Amino acid sequence: MKILVLNSGSSSLKYQLFDMTDESVLAKGLVERIGLEGSLLTHRPANKEKQVINTDIPDHTTAIQLVLDALTNPDYGVISSMDEIGAVGHRIVHGGSVFTETTIINDEVVAEIEKLIPLAPLHNPPGIAGIKACRSILPNVPQVAVFDTAFHQSMPEVSYIYGLPYEYFEKYGIRRYGFHGTSHRYVSHRAAEILGEPLEDLKMITCHLGNGSSIAAIDKGKVMDTTMGFTPLEGLMMGARSGNVDPAIISFIMEKENLTIKEVDELLNKKSGFLGVSGVSSDLRNVEEAASEGNYRAQLAIDMFYQKIVRFIGAFVAEINGIDVLVFTAGIGENSPQMREAVCDKLEFLCLFIDKEKNKFRGEEREISRPGSKVKVFVIPTNEELMIARDTATLVK
C-alpha cells in the first residue's frame, strides 16, 4: 500500500509518499508560502531530479492538488494515478484529552479537532485545512489523524494537573498535554527493537532535542511524565523558548517593560532560550561556534541547556524509579556529541557510561554506551513521518 503523509503548517505543507511494502520513501517535498507572494513547491522524487515549481498557491487545497499533480506527473512523478494512494496520514499537533491514539478521520473527528483550536490556535487550523482539502480531492481515500499529544495521554493525573485552581482544568482544559509524542514513540519503539527486548520490560528516558526540545519518561511503553505542558513552552530551555521560568517573572516584566500579552508571549517563545541568553542565535551550531571563540554568554547558554537536560533526566529517573535506556534524538540529540558527552558525564552515578570515541559522530543510529554500562544509551534519528505512515497503514487495514 502507498501512504501519503502530510504535515500542514500555516503557510507550508510537508509531504512524503511511502511504499509500505518496504517502507521506502517514493517522493517527498515541501510547499512554501501558501497564501503569500512567491509560493513554490519543491518536489524530491527518489532517483529522479528535484523539481521546483513556482506558482500561485492561495490555499491548502491548491497546495495538495499541486502535490498530487507532482506525484502523478509523467516525467517526475512516482505513481501513475492518484488511485494508487491507499490512505493519507495527517500530523495534527493537538488532540487534547480526547484523542489518546491515532484515529480514522470522519466528520465527528474533524469537529472534535476544530473544538481543540483554542488549545492550539496556531497549529490545529492548518492541520484541519489539510484534512478538509484532502477529503475534498480524495473523497474515497481513508484519512487518518496522528496527534503529537496522543502518546503522552498515558500520563497519570499527578503528572498532568497543575497546581492551579482545579476549576481551570475543568473549565478550559488547562493541564499538561506534552508534545513531540510521535517522535518519543518512534524512538522508544526503535530502541526496544534494537535491544530485542519488549518495551513492556523497559524503563526509558527519551530526549527529543531540536529547536523545540522535550524529554519523556517512559515506563513499560507508557509515558509517565514529559517536560512540555499545556503548550510547548514548558520544560527545557530551547532555541528561542524560555522553558520553565518562575511564573511571577511574567507579570513583573510586563509591568516594568510595559508589555502587552502578545508581546510577552513573543518574548517567551521567540526571544528567549539560546537566543535570549547568548544574544547570538537560536541555532545551537552558531551558539557553539561563538562559545568556541570565547563568547561568555554563548557558553553560558550551552551550559544552562545541558544542566536542564540533566535536571529533568534525574527527576524522571526518580519518578519512574529506574532507567534501562536513554535515547537522544532530533537535530541536537542526533548531531551534538558535545551535548551527549556533557550530559552523560553527569549521569555516571546511574552506572551509565558512554564510549567517548563511539560518541563522536553525527546523524546516524548507534549505541554509544560502553559494554559495562548498566544503562544502554542510544542515538536514534527520529522519523515521525514513518511512524505516521505505519499507524495509517495499520488503521486502514
Return residues touching ligand ADP (CB under 6 A).
Answer: 210-212, 239, 283-285, 330-332, 335-336, 362
Our measurement of the distance from residue 332's CA atom to the centroid of its chain's CA atoms, rounded to an integer in Å, reads: 13
Q: How far is the CB of 276 from ligand ADP (least distance, A)?
A: 14
Residue whose CB is nearest to ligand ADP in the complex, by number: 331
Instruction: Give the closest residue to 273 by CA, choosing from 300, 251, 292.
Output: 300
Catalytic: which of 59, 75, 148, 303? 148
Q: How far is the CB of 111 from ligand ADP (least distance, A)?
A: 30
Q: How far is the CB of 329 from ligand ADP (least distance, A)?
A: 8
With H, G, I as helix, E, B as strand and everything else as coil, classify residue 379.
strand
Q: Grid coordinates in use for 172?
A: 478550559
Q: How far is the CB of 362 from ligand ADP (least distance, A)?
A: 5
* Closer of 77 and 232 to ligand ADP (Cβ): 232
Handedness of CA 80, 83, 84, 87 (dihedral sign): positive
148 as an active site residue: the answer is yes
Q: Grid coordinates in use for 132?
A: 478538509
* Closer of 9 and 77 to ligand ADP (Cβ): 9
Residue 150 one-letter amino acid: A
Task: List all residues 6 or more positions away from 212 whose beta carbon is below 8 Å from its beta carbon.
Answer: 179, 180, 232, 238, 239, 241
> Are the beta carbons of 214 and 239 closer than 8 angstroms?
no
Task: List all residues 6 or more positions away from 84 whose beta carbon is below 8 Å from its beta carbon.
Answer: 2
Handedness of CA 316, 214, 235, 281 (dihedral sign): positive
* Closer of 89 and 331 to ligand ADP (Cβ): 331
Q: How many CB atoms lie within 10 A of CB 26?
A: 18
DSSP symbols for 221-251: TEEEEES--SSTTSSS--SS---S--THHHH
* Closer of 239 and 276 to ligand ADP (Cβ): 239
Residue whose entry in the numeric block shows the C-alpha cell 484519512:
143
Q: How far is the CB of 142 from ligand ADP (least distance, A)?
A: 28
Distance, in Å, from the CA atom of 208 to the CA atom of 325, rounded to the nearest integer, reads 14
* Closer of 68 and 290 to ligand ADP (Cβ): 290
- Annotated binding residue 335: yes
Residues comprising the binding site for substrate?
91
Annotated binding site: 7, 14, 91, 208-212, 283-285, 331-335, 384
Active site residues: 148
